[in-house]
Amino acid sequence: MPADDGVGTTWVGVAVFVSILAALLVNGCGDRKPPPSPPVPEVAILVIKAQELMLTTELPGRTSAFLVAEIRPQVNGIIKKRLFREGSDVKGGQQLYQIDPAPFEAALDSAGAALARSEANLPAVRSKAERYKALLAEKAVSQQDYDDRESALKQAEADIQYWKAAVETARINLEYTRVIAPISGRIGKSNVTDGALVTAYQPVALATIQQIDPIYVDVPQSTSELLRLKRHLDVGRLTQDGPEQKKVQLFLEDGTPYQSEGALQFRDVTVDPTTGSVILRIVFPNPEGVLLPGMFVRARVKEGVNEKAILVPQQSVMRDPKGNPFVFVVDGDNRVQQRMLTIDRAHGDKWLVAGGLSEGDRVVVEGTQRARPGALVKTVPLDEKPQAPKTATQAQPSEASKR
């Protein structure tokens, strides 16, 4: 029947179309190539080499005068004249104040007169004692009379010694009216003026002299740092040989380095219980007077020489979620490994590594974002890696943006 023939023809056409489409799909899939494998990432590496390194520590400190003398009067009196300019340099033995000497001159004259009187009486007393001694031998006088004359002689001699001491005391007190600088240095402000009444050994100093050339720098060092340093010296990680070890560099409050190096004089043996630290005392020359007592400074103290120090660039060190430092190293098969580190301190733009790396290790410095543990990489020495200008790199579009 015609209706049946039309339906059959339609189904035959559909089947032919499906067959042709399937053949095209099969042929198309057969012609497609597999996707190319991703390129091996390139990383810049640094081969670790041990080197000799002088380890230093920067510690805050404060300057203090080399010598300090507080000037106090040793006798009572009125200040007649101040003989120095405040803030000037004075010499040891220079007169600073003059106390009214009149009472002390009178005391010296009185003691001198008493001494002269005693000395004048001595010859008569001595001759009488000698005559009584001769008469005693002849039994012309009693023993008691002789003893009285002998005692009078000794008393006259003792009086002379007494008045000699009184004369010397009066002379010393008169000398004390001239207040003398005991040391050389820079004198500060005067706490008294002309006409002021002063007393011997009063609690308030007349003035203060400080010697600031050379000058001390006192630096506190924690006992934990001291123990760490001692431990490193005991195990041989650090050595302290040579006179250069005691040289110290100083930085002023504004960060500028001081012109001269100082010398470590001693380390105190007493620990401050409030800070848990000991004091290092360093001596610095100060001919220009740049350093003044009480200034805050920073001292770079040499700890010792690490003869096998390992340094890595700070950019190569990463941190895990717990904050532990690690680096990527490339093994002999050019595969990346993660290595945990023990870091001692920063040295410029590098880290001093105390553990985790050894000489000859190849550390990934650039390309760490493309390196994964276990991945195969292509290594390029850090010094040979081409550096493109930043502006050129920023101007070039990435492959992803092109797509």
- What single DSSP character describes residue 395? H
Q: Is the pLDDT of residue 114 over 80?
A: yes
CATH of domain 102-174: 1.10.287
Domain boundaries, the chain: 44-53+309-385, 55-65+212-305, 73-100+177-204, 102-174
Query: In sequence order, which residues have a C-beta less than 8 Å from that of residue 33 and are 6 or more positions away?
Result: none
Q: Specify which of 44-53, 72-81, 150-159, 387-396 reaches the highest per-range mean pLDDT.
A: 72-81
Write b or e for each residue in 121-136: b if 16 or more Cβ atoms lie within 10 A of its Cβ, otherwise e.
Answer: eeeebeeebeebeeeb
Q: Is the dihedral of CA 273, 274, 275, 279 positive or negative?
A: negative
Omega prior to 214 cis, within 30 of 0? yes
Q: Is the pLDDT of residue 322 over 50?
A: yes
- Residue among 317, 373, 322, 365 at smallest CA distance from 345: 317
- Residue among 238, 350, 360, 347 at smallest CA distance from 339: 360
Q: What is the pLDDT of residue 68?
A: 96
| Cα–Cα distance for residue pair 283/293, rounded to 1 Å | 13
Alpha helices in 202-253 (DSSP H): 223-234
Provide mean pLDDT across the span 94-116.
96
Quick one: fold of 55-65+212-305?
Answer: Elongation Factor Tu (Ef-tu); domain 3 (2.40.30)
Whether residue 74 contacts residue 176, with contact meaning beta carbons closer than 8 Å, is answered with yes
The answer to whether domain 44-53+309-385 has CATH 2.40.420.20 is yes
Q: How confident is the model at residue 213 (pLDDT cuts 50, 70, 90)?
A: very high
| Cα–Cα distance for residue pair 359/329, rounded to 1 Å | 12
Q: Read off the amino acid at residue 100.
A: D
Q: What is the pLDDT of residue 272?
A: 86
Q: How confident is the model at residue 384 (pLDDT cuts 50, 70, 90)?
A: very low
389 vs 180, more confident: 180
Task: Give kind and range of the element (H or E) at residue 11.
Answer: helix 2-31
Q: Write the pLDDT tens digit of every residue in 179-207.
A: 999 999 999 999 999 999 999 999 999 99
The tokens for 204 are 């308030």
Q: What SS3 state is found at 272?
A: strand
47 vs 26, more confident: 47
Count of CB atoms situated within 10 Å of the CB of 51: 12
Q: What is the pLDDT of residue 101?
A: 96
Q: What angle do CA 136, 140, 145 make, to 5 degrees?
A: 60
**Share above pLDDT 90 across residues of the chain, in percent, rounded to a whole number:** 51
Q: What SS3 state is found at 262?
A: strand
Q: Is the pLDDT of residue 389 over 50?
A: no
Q: Write the pLDDT tens digit of every residue in 162-174.
A: 999 999 999 999 9
Backbone angles phi, psi at 39, to 5 degrees: -65, 150
- Residue among 62, 70, 60, 59 at smallest CA distance from 293: 62
Count of CB atoms situated within 10 Å of the CB of 111: 20
Q: Write the pLDDT tens digit of every residue in 215-238.
A: 999 999 888 888 877 776 776 666
6 vs 122, more confident: 122
Provide mean pLDDT across the span 96-121.
95
| Cα–Cα distance for residue pair 72/201, rounded to 1 Å | 6
Q: Which residue has the tokens 């050389």?
A: 184
Q: How confident is the model at residue 241 (pLDDT cuts 50, 70, 90)?
A: low
Count of CB atoms situated within 10 Å of the CB of 220: 16
Q: Write the pLDDT tens digit of every residue in 127-143.
A: 988 888 888 888 888 88
Query: In sequence order, which residues have a C-beta less than 8 Å from that of residue 257 and are 6 or more positions away?
Result: 249, 250, 251
Quick one: fold of 73-100+177-204?
Answer: OB fold (Dihydrolipoamide Acetyltransferase, E2P) (2.40.50)
Q: What is the pLDDT of residue 33?
A: 60
102 vs 367, more confident: 102
Report CA 104 to chain centroid distance, whole Å. Answer: 51
Q: What is the pLDDT of residue 191?
A: 95
User: Whole-model pTM?
Assistant: 0.68
5 vs 227, more confident: 227
| Cα–Cα distance for residue pair 370/218, rounded to 1 Å | 50
Q: How confident is the model at residue 387 (pLDDT cuts 50, 70, 90)?
A: very low
Q: Is the pLDDT of residue 293 over 90?
A: yes
Q: Is the pLDDT of residue 339 over 90?
A: yes
396 vs 344, more confident: 344
